[in-house]
Amino acid sequence: MSKDRKVFLYDTTLRDGAQSEGVSFSLDDKLRLTEALDDFGIHYIEGGWPVSNPKDEAYFKRVRSLNLKRARIAAFGSTHHPKNKAAEDRNVQLLLAAKTPVVTIVGKAWNMQATKVLGVSARKNLELIHSTITYLKKNVDEVIFDAEHFFDGCKDNQKYSIEVLSVALDAGADWLTLCDTNGGTLTSEVESLLGIVCNTFPGANIGIHCHNDSDCAVANSIAAIQKGARQLQGTINGIGERCGNTNLCSVIPNLQLKAGFNCVSKTKLKKLRELSRLAFELANMSQRPHQPYTGRSAFAHKGGIHVAAVNKVSRSYEHVEPEIVGNRRRVLVSDLSGKWNILMKAAELGLDIKSKDKAIKKILKDLKDLESQGFQFEGAEGSFELLIRKATGQWKRKFEIERARVVSNFSDLKSSNWAEAVIKVRLPNGATRHSVAEGNGPVNALDKAVRSALVDYYPELYEVELHDFKVRLLDDKSKTAAVTRVLVESGDKNSRWGTVGVSPNIIEASWQALVDSLEYKLHQPKRR
C-alpha cells in the first residue's frame, strides 16, 4: 500500500471523550486505556489538558513510566492569554511541563469566535496563534494545530479561516487539523473545503476532527480522508461532548476495509471489538448492542430467510466478515425463525442436529407457541438450549422441585425487603433435600434456597452468579395483573447465559428463569 494511503490515528477519548455526559475516567482508567490504544496501533493519544485539573497533570507524569510501543502522547491546550507572552503563560508552561513529544494547540479559526467569545480582534487572534506555536515548536518535537470552528468560520469568512491556517503553518505547525466543532457541517461542505485547503497548502499535513451533532461525523471524516487529509481524530465508541465525536470503531474499518487506506494491521483490527468493550467498561457506560462493527447485534441474524442465505453465502447479508473486527456471527431465534435458525443456533451451542431431523419441526412449533405466550429467546439462549435438548432427547432431569414456598414481610417498612423461602427438591438418586433461606426479597431468597439444596450434589453451582435481572410487563393495560416476562443473566468464570420466565405472577416468572439458569449450567460439559 502506497505511503499516501497511510492514515495517522489520533485518539482523544481521554480528553474530548471524557467530556461526554456521565463519563469520568479515573487516573488508572486513563492509563489502562492508554496501553490498550497503543497496543491497538493508535499513533497519537491525547492524554488531557494539564491546566484543567490535577488528574490530567498526574496522568502526564505517570504515563512516562508506561512502555508504549507506538503511540505518541499529546498534551492539549489553547493559545496563550492575550495579556501574556507565550513564554510567561501558565497554560503554555504546563503544556511543556507535561514533557510530551507532541502538543496540540487549539485556536480560533472563526472570526466571530475571536471577537465575540475570546474578546480580541481578528488580527490579535492571528498573533496569539503564531506566537504560541512558534514558542512551542522551539521546545517540543511536534505541534498539532486544531483549527477550532474551521468549517463554520469558512461559512462566515472563508478568507480569514484560511489565513488562520496559513499563520499556523508559518509558525511551524506540523499538522493543520480542521475541526467541525459544532458538528453541523454536511459531507458535501467538508469535501468542498478540504479540496480548497489541500490546493491552497500543497504538501501540508492536514487532519480532520468532527463532532456528531448532525450524525455526520463518520461520513465527514471519511470524506476528508478521501480528499487528502491524513490525520484522523476521534474517540473510541464516538463518546464526547453533546452528541459525541467521530467514532473510531466505525471509521477505521470503513477506511481500511472499504476505502483502501492503511490504518492498523490486520492482526490489530481483530482487537477492535475488544477495545470498544474495554472503553465502554472504563467509561461506566452500557455497551451499545447495535453499534456498527463492534456491537453485539452487528452481525446478528433473525429472519429465517436471512439465516438460510447467510448459511449458504455469508456476504449475502454481511458487509464484512465479523471475525475481521473481532466480532462473531449470531443467529437469533424467535417466532420469525425458520429451519436454518434452529440448525445454525444448535451448531453455535454445540448441539448435534441434522437438517432432516424430525425434532426441528417440534422445536419450531414449541418456539413459536412460547413466543406467542410472551417468551423471548433472543436474550435467553440458555432457555433455548434447554428447549432444543428436550426436543432431541439430549436433556436429563437434574432435579425435581417437589415444593417451594416464599413469604415476604411487609408489616414493617424498614424490613419490607426481607423474605424467606422454603424448598424441597428430589435428586436423581431418589434422595430429597430441604432448604430454608432468607434473602433480600423473594427472588433472592428462592435463589439462595434452591442452590443450598443442590450444591452438595452439584458443587459446580457454587460458580454460578446472577449478573442481571430484567422485568417487563407484556400488557401495560392490565397494570398489576399483567403477564410478566423476566430475563435473567447468569454466569460463571467461563461464560454468561440468559434464561427467561413468563407468568402473571412475577415471582413464578422469576422462578422459571432461575431454575432454567441452574439447569443450563448442569447440562454444560465440566471443565477441568
In a domain, 492, yes or no: yes
Q: In one letter, which amino acid is 397? A: R
Lowest mean pLDDT among 31-40, 52-61, 122-131, 295-304: 295-304
In a domain, 354, yes or no: no
pLDDT surpassing 80 at residue 305: no
Q: How many domains does the chain have?
A: 2
Burial environment of residue 63 by CB neighbours within 10 A (0 to 12, 13 to 18, 19 or more): buried
Instruction: Render the burial of 245-268: b for 16+ CB within 10 Å, e for the rest.
Output: bbbbbbbbbbbbbeeebebbeeeb
Q: How confident is the model at residue 197 (pLDDT cuts 50, 70, 90)?
A: very high
Q: How confident is the model at residue 527 (pLDDT cuts 50, 70, 90)?
A: low
Among 264, 299, 330, the domain-final residue is 264
pLDDT surpassing 70 at residue 476: no
Spell out the SS3 assignment of 336-390.
CCCHHHHHHHHHHHCCCCCCCCCHHHHHHHHHHHHHHHCCCCCCCHHHHHHHHHH
Q: What is the mean pLDDT of residues 405-424?
A: 74
Average pLDDT across the chain, whole number: 87
Q: Which residue has the higher pLDDT, 295 or 2?
A: 295
In a domain, 293, yes or no: no
In a domain, 176, yes or no: yes
168 in the same domain as 23: yes
Give residue 413's pLDDT: 53
Q: Which residue has the higher pLDDT, 323 or 374?
A: 323
pLDDT surpassing 50 at residue 259: yes
In a domain, 136, yes or no: yes
In a domain, 316, yes or no: no
Give residue 315's pLDDT: 78
pLDDT surpassing 90 at residue 140: yes
8 Å CB contact between 250 and 24? no
pLDDT surpassing 90 at residue 205: yes
Neighbours of 271 (CB within 10 A): 18
Chain position carrying cell 452438595 = 456
How many H helices and E strands in the chain? Answer: 17, 16
Among 233, 264, 295, the domain-final residue is 264
User: Looking at residue 9, which CATH number applies to its domain?
Assistant: 3.20.20.70
Q: Which residue has the higher pLDDT, 253 or 469?
A: 253
In a domain, 419, yes or no: yes
In a domain, 134, yes or no: yes
Domain that holds residue 52: 3-264
Q: In one letter, which amino acid is 60? A: F
Burial environment of residue 358 by CB neighbours within 10 A (0 to 12, 13 to 18, 19 or more): exposed
8 Å CB contact between 39 and 5? no
C-alpha cell at 475: 400488557
Among 264, 296, 315, the domain-final residue is 264
